[in-house]
Amino acid sequence: MFELLVILIPVLPLAAVLLNGLLGSRYSHDIAHRLGWGSVGLSFLCAVGIFVETLRTGVAREVVAYRWIFGGDLTVNLAFLVDPLTCIMMLVVTGVGFLIHLYSVGYMHGEEGFTRFFTYMNLFMVSMLLLVMGSNYLVLFIGWEGVGLCSYLLIGYYYDRVSAAKAATKAFVVNRIGDAGFLLAIFLIFVNFKTLDYTQVFAQASQLSTGMATAIALCLLIGAVGKSAQIPLYTWLPDAMEGPTPVSALIHAATMVTAGVYMIVRNHVLYDMAPVALTTVAWVGGLTALFAATIGLVQTDIKRVLAYSTVSQLGYMFLACGIGAYTAAIFHLMTHAFFKALLFLSAGSVIHALSGEQDIRNMGGLRSKIPWTHALFLVGTLAIAGIFPLAGFWSKDEIMAHAFTHGQYVLYAMAAIGAFLTAFYMFRLTYLTFYGRSRLDHHVAEHVHESPAVMIGPLVVLAVLSVIGGFPGVPPESGWFHHFLHPVTVAAGGGEEHGAGFGLVATLMVVATAIALLGWGLAHYLYSVRTEAADNLAARAPGAYRTLLNKYYVDELYDFLFVEPAKRLGVVWDWFDRTVIDGIVLGVGRLTQSGSAGSTWIEKHAIYGLINVVGYANHLAARSWRRLQSGKVHHYAAIIVAGLFILVHLILVWWSGSSGIGVASR
């Protein structure tokens, strides 16, 4: 029963993929979307069952589906590992996934390729579930690449848009760079442990040298950085906003992009042995958190602001991993899934209401027109900004407190500044979208409408989760959440200390709240009280403003450094192939032909005395490319065969001279 439930979790959406993918054109959209969200909903129920069972027994179990690859001394099963970490991830993925699927029914209504959309979304669920449920690195890797594929397909959903097609390719290619690092890590693991199973690898991990552990951890980090859009591979995520908004919510905010965090936490045994790698993770995370937040300050596309905020929040999770606060990382992953899905979907509701408008400069004053959406977006903003006692407050505070109590003051400062910026740009977004005077195009303004219940319903659930989602992690570092995850995130022998005193923890909470309120206050001042102040500020520092607006010109830099040279190298090598290599080949051919002409001439004159002077004059005079190349195969063949006979003859003479032909040499 347990095994069956576990296997059903990914198989149910897979069945929907096959049905919708193969037969979807034969039945109505109603059946297609019911299959879509229905299968994910059932998966969620199965996941709840598995979760309850795991909660009761407290044991990690492995479920083998079948033997997948078998070559030499390498055997890989398609198998699942069910432990507390898997349970949390499964619940988040299927739960949030289910809500987003439901929302999509309304959001995607009437779109061309409706069935295709649900097929891809379900395929994404299958891949993501393989990713979080796999019991070895290769199943993780199938899921890893599978979610990348679905991300690619869904970013390019509006494939006839050039920008969407480009963004899709970019996302896949940048992810591939990370995947190459991930593959190298898998090879290193296989060479060192002769297995790819988590349990066996972690059990033997202590035998690893620090250097090797560091190498593996850093290669894994390359993969994680690609998938989770961290510096320097974050550039694909903002462009990924070309996909439909539910895709941005599910894949590019709540689930897929957190895969890197999951992977690091899953491999924390290896990371714990490699302090250098851990420090790298922390700094990558800290820098990304801060860097992406600064770009988010000035963006004007509602989804792009949210995209940079996602990059920034993922940075917090990496930072948490890097300072050893694995539980906090997963905690923030979970709460972030709630409030970021909420924010994206409410943003989708705004876009839906405004007939596709995404530029916040053309919004404003929507509060009264779409009150539900406004309220829901506001809840999301409060949660992400870290306002007490919403979900984001608890998880972000825990990360920052952990950094402070473990002496990582620089990282703490970066996180704190990042938190201030987050509160600022999120409230800026809220003010510009929902408050002030309306800057709507009057055509758009006439059609503004609140979204249907099928869209608002899931949002309400997410809003509730964004409010209460932090409570399982209260009190910090010793809440229910921490006890549940304790067997997974704490290495044998080690342990997360619970040393910080209550006074310090409380002080840090107050500081965190003050930072968030400060950001809110500044946004309120600039975008609600003195609305011209923001423009003045931008005008006063045009260089800085333009740099931020153009995202520090990183895309341009990468184009200049990598993309253009690669294309040019291809062209140069193409030239090399056609001129140099072919030149040699044809030169040899020409030489052979002359030789052939000569030898044939001798043959014809000296031996047979047959002359065909005209033909030969023609042949030798034929200088043009075509004439030179056409119809002369027999010449090449003749000379080659002649040479062959000579060689064979020589060998026969040689060997018969040394060993005697016809006499057995044995």
Partner 1 sequence: MSDLTIQSNGFPWLTAIVFLPLAGTVLLFFLKDAAVRWVALGVALADFALSLPLWILFDPSTPRMQFAEQAAWIVSPPINYSVGVDGISLPLILLTTFLTPLCVLVSWTAIQTRVKGFMACLLVMETAMLGVFVALDFVLFYVFWEAMLIPMYLLIGVWGGPNRVYAAVKFFLYTLTGSVLFLVAILVLFFQGGQTFDILLLSRVEYSSTLQFWLFLAFFAAFAVKVPMFPFHTWLPDAHVEAPTAGSVILASVLLKMGAYGFLRFALPMLPDAAAAFTPMMVALSLTAILYGAYMALAQADLKKLIAYSSVSHMGFVTLGIFALNAQGIEGAMMQMINHGITTGALFLCVGIIYERTHSRMIADNGGLAKPMPRYATFLVIFALSSLGLPGTNSFVGEFLVLVGTFLWSKPATAIAALGIILAAVYLLWMVQRVVFELPTGRTAPTLVDLNLREFVTLAPLVVLVFWIGFFPNPVLTPMHASVNHLIEELDEADQVIAEHGTGLPDMATRRRGDAAISPCLRVSASPCFVHLSLKP
Which 3 state secondary structure label does DSSP give 213?
helix
**How far are the Cα atoms of 249, 366, 367, 442, 452 from residue 370, in angstroms, in the given order?**
20, 6, 6, 16, 11
To partner 1, the closest distance from the beta carbon of 217 in angstroms equals 16
**Taking Cα atoms as reference points, which of 290, 150, 140 lies closest to residue 220?**
140
Q: Which phi and psi (to 5°) does residue 42 adopt?
A: -65, -40
Pick 160 or 532: Cβ nearer partner 1:
160
**How far are the Cα atoms of 297, 428, 448 from residue 437, in angstroms, in the given order?**
21, 14, 15
Which tokens hold the place of 484?
A: 């549940």
To partner 1, the closest distance from the beta carbon of 66 in angstroms equals 8
To partner 1, the closest distance from the beta carbon of 200 in angstroms equals 17
Q: Could you tell me if 97 and 119 are in contact, meaning their C-beta atoms sit under 8 angstroms apart?
A: no
To partner 1, the closest distance from the beta carbon of 570 in angstroms equals 3
CB atoms within 10 A of CB 485: 21
Q: Could you tell me how many residues make up the chain? A: 666
Pick 500 or 597: Cβ nearer partner 1:
597
To partner 1, the closest distance from the beta carbon of 182 in angstroms equals 10
**How far are the Cα atoms of 138, 599, 603 from residue 606, in angstroms, in the given order?**
71, 10, 6
Pick 566 or 621: Cβ nearer partner 1:
566
To partner 1, the closest distance from the beta carbon of 429 in angstroms equals 31
Q: Could you tell me if 17 and 123 are in contact, meaning their C-beta atoms sit under 8 angstroms apart?
A: yes
To partner 1, the closest distance from the beta carbon of 651 in angstroms equals 6
* C-alpha torsion sign, points 402, 408, 409, 411: negative
In degrees, rounded to 5, the angle at the alpha carbon of residue 134 between the alpha carbons of residues 341 and 198 is 120
Q: Per the omega criterion (within 30 degrees of 0), is the bond before 84 cis?
A: no
To partner 1, the closest distance from the beta carbon of 652 in angstroms equals 8
Which tokens hold the place of 309?
A: 């905020």
In degrees, rounded to 5, the angle at the alpha carbon of residue 369 between the alpha carbons of residues 365 and 373 is 95
Residue 553: which region, alpha, beta or left (left: phi > 0; alpha: psi -120 to 50)? left
Pick 165 or 500: Cβ nearer partner 1:
165
User: What is the rounded CA–CA span in Å between residue 432 and residue 515?
Assistant: 21
**How far are the Cα atoms of 498, 519, 610, 614, 623 from residue 620, in angstroms, in the given order?**
93, 86, 18, 10, 7
To partner 1, the closest distance from the beta carbon of 184 in angstroms equals 6
Which DSSP category does 257 fall into? G
To partner 1, the closest distance from the beta carbon of 233 in angstroms equals 12
Pick 67 or 447: Cβ nearer partner 1:
67
Pick 242 or 397: Cβ nearer partner 1:
242
To partner 1, the closest distance from the beta carbon of 23 in angstroms equals 14
120: number of CA atoms within 13 Å, CB side? Answer: 22
To which H or E segment does residue 543 belong? helix 542-549
Pick 105 or 138: Cβ nearer partner 1:
138
To partner 1, the closest distance from the beta carbon of 337 in angstroms equals 25
Pick 81 or 183: Cβ nearer partner 1:
183
Which 3 state secondary structure label does DSSP give 284?
helix
Pick 389 or 583: Cβ nearer partner 1:
583
Concatenated DSSP letters for 28-77? -HHHHHHHHHHHHHHHHHHHHHHHHHHHHH---EEEEEEEEEEETTEEEE
Which tokens hold the place of 587?
A: 């030169």
To partner 1, the closest distance from the beta carbon of 13 in angstroms equals 15
To partner 1, the closest distance from the beta carbon of 392 in angstroms equals 34
Pick 122 or 299: Cβ nearer partner 1:
122
Pick 187 or 409: Cβ nearer partner 1:
187
User: What is the rounded CA–CA span in Å between residue 13 and residue 113?
Assistant: 19
Which 3 state secondary structure label does DSSP give 441?
coil
User: What is the rounded CA–CA span in Å between residue 388 and residue 396?
Assistant: 11
Pick 16 or 459: Cβ nearer partner 1:
16
User: What is the rounded CA–CA span in Å between residue 267 and residue 489?
Assistant: 9
Q: Could you tell me if 545 and 538 are in contact, meaning their C-beta atoms sit under 8 angstroms apart?
A: yes
To partner 1, the closest distance from the beta carbon of 201 in angstroms equals 15
Which 3 state secondary structure label does DSSP give 242?
helix
User: What is the rounded CA–CA span in Å between residue 457 and residue 451?
Assistant: 10
Pick 471 or 636: Cβ nearer partner 1:
636
To partner 1, the closest distance from the beta carbon of 123 in angstroms equals 10
Pick 571 or 614: Cβ nearer partner 1:
571
Pick 196 or 305: Cβ nearer partner 1:
196
Which tokens hold the place of 202?
A: 């972690």
Pick 61 or 166: Cβ nearer partner 1:
166
Which tokens hold the place of 356?
A: 């596709």
User: What is the rounded CA–CA span in Å between residue 143 and residue 149?
Assistant: 10
**Secondary structure string (H, E, C) spanning 342-364:** HHHHHHHHHHHHCCCCCEHHHCC
